[in-house]
Chains A and B, each alone.
Chain A
Amino acid sequence: MARPIRVLVAKLGLDAHTIGVTVVAKAMRDAGMEVIYSGLKQTPEMVAATAIQEDVDVVGLSSLSAAHMRHFPRVVELLREQGASDKLVIGGGVIPEEDAEDLKRGGVAEVFTMGAETGDIVAYIEQWWTSRTA
């Protein structure tokens, strides 16, 4: 029996652009992953609670504003506090290089900026999964 990778895809922040996350979610599905989409305007608390209830392996965060990107590390922190630091947290959006470095220091495993292909994101997750279960 296959054991699909489960991924939570959530948008933090106030913008209502869903095209990017929808494309990424479809690519993940087409790679055999189960994608839980929890929608727009999510807070770090909502994301952490959802990740735990859904027992996902990966949390994919998206934001188009620098302000809300700052919340990515908060998700990492909440997951750690709740004993769920085994989950991979990755981020995407319009993110300047130096911010990406900050986010990584905050525990976000990888940051995909606008130039990234959906295939890169899928490949990254698959590689992480293989190395984790090896």
Chain B
Amino acid sequence: MDEPNRLGARPETRPASPAHSEAKSSEGRQAGVARRSPAELAERALEGEQSAGARLIRLLENQERDGIEGLKALYPHGGRAHIVGITGPPGAGKSTLVDALIAEWRRRERRVAVIAVDPSSPFSGGAILGDRVRMQRHATDPGVFIRSMATRGQLGGLARTSFEASAVLDAMGYDVILVETVGVGQDELDVVELAHTTAVVNVPGLGDDIQAIKAGILEVGDLFILNKADRPGADETEKQLRLMLHLREGEERDAGFEPPLLRTVAPRGDGIVEVVDACTAHYEHLSTTGGIERKTAVRGHRFLVELVRELASEAVFARAAAGELAQLVDDVRARRTDPYSAAERLVAAMLKPS
């Protein structure tokens, strides 16, 4: 297996291989995505072709050069989608809610994409991604695109390349992108930086747990969903949630937007119209208050800073002379130097003009 071209690798000039010219031929759809160039994949993704978009996301997920080239071509076409994050504790009904939300947005003739994140096993690196089980009635709807992603070591409730995936889906013209996070506790809230609107899902009977989650999660929600409202204890939980939302007033992120608390019974679709209305109202609020630009700037900043971090560290290791890293590790081991001095030397070597 050849080593994938990493983010940090120097751009390669790509020879026009026979495979590529063949894929450009008339019967491209039959030829399959496997042999398409990044430009071609991007072009077809822009036309809404799911297999092309899916392949780009896969390439990006694997940090392959072709994926990055494709994203560069797609990126200018994005910026129209409403990105909605759905977060909350494990088993709260997030996937069931997403399923119901897809149905309601489809009823409103919106095209919907979903990024559903589940954790990778820290032991094997593998994962079982089961969110989409609850959404399969939409599998063959051409206006719906569901992509499961494994975290691949990323903390924060999202996958390593959720930002990239959402950029692809955005450029493909999906009106709404629903992002289901892994079932989270408190401070895994990357989704807030990705989404325009973040919905926090709670369920009855959390009791003392609400105290546990209030610190992080309640402060970031743009709307709150009390799902499983058919379960006992809904009234009590709603009372507690209202109290806590009341406490957070004054430190509102979007001045002038009161985060609603909505009850749902996701498998029955109860309360879903109200959730979609609230998401839309929040987006409109953002639109009229400069919030979209602000969110886009936050997202861009986060995306950019992470990439620089990644590219820079890869460049450092790529530049390190053969054996230098091993030598420094040995020096640290023998306490001839300390880890800070060693790291500074490696970085300084990269910053030297070559």
Contacts and interface: CB of A to CB of B under 8 A. Distances in A.
Given A38-B136, A133-B1, A85 B126 contact: no
B128 A39 contact: no
A83 B29 contact: yes
B300 interface: no
A13 B217 CA distance: 41
B132 A35 contact: no
Interface string A8-45: 00000000000000000110111111111111001101
Nearest to A48: B140
A86 B6 CA distance: 24
Interface residues of A, number: 37
Interface string A34-62: 11111100110110011011110000000
B136 A50 contact: yes
Nearest to A30: B124
A132 to B, nearest CB: 9
Interface string B111-139: 00000000011011111111011001001
Interface string B167-185: 0000000000000000000
B339 interface: no
B155 interface: no
Given A55-B55, A83-B32, A29 B50 contact: no
B129 A34 contact: yes
A68 to B, nearest CB: 16
Contact of A53 (B32, B33, B54): B54
Contact of B1 (A31, A34, A134): A134
Contacts of A34: 120, 126-127, 129, 150
Given A32-B124, A35-B129, A83-B33, A52 B54 contact: yes
The B contact surface, by secondary structure, is mixed
A77 to B, nearest CB: 13
Interface in B211-260: none
A40 to B, nearest CB: 8
A107 B140 CA distance: 22
A130 to B, nearest CB: 7
Given A1-B6, A30-B121, A30-B126, A50 B132 contact: yes
Contacts of A3: 4, 62
Interface string B46-68: 00001100110110001100000
Contact of A29 (B1, B31, B124): B124
B279 interface: no
B34 interface: yes
Interface in B94-121: 120-121
Interface in B245-280: none
A134 B1 CA distance: 5
A54 B275 CA distance: 27
Nearest to B146: A53
B30 interface: yes
Contact of B127 (A29, A42, A45, A49): A29
Nearest to B137: A46
Interface in B1-39: 1-2, 4, 6, 29-34
A50 B167 CA distance: 20
B124 A1 contact: no
A1 B63 contact: yes
Interface of A: 1-4, 6, 25-26, 28-39, 42-43, 45-46, 49-50, 52-55, 82-86, 130, 133-134
10 contacts: A2-B125, A4-B127, A4-B150, A29-B124, A35-B126, A49-B140, A53-B50, A54-B54, A55-B58, A133-B2
Given A1-B63, A38-B133, A52-B51, 6 more contacts: A3-B62, A26-B128, A83-B51, A84-B33, A84-B51, A130-B1
Q: Closest 9 interchain pairs by CB?
A: A29-B126, A39-B133, A55-B54, A83-B32, A55-B58, A46-B139, A3-B62, A32-B126, A133-B1
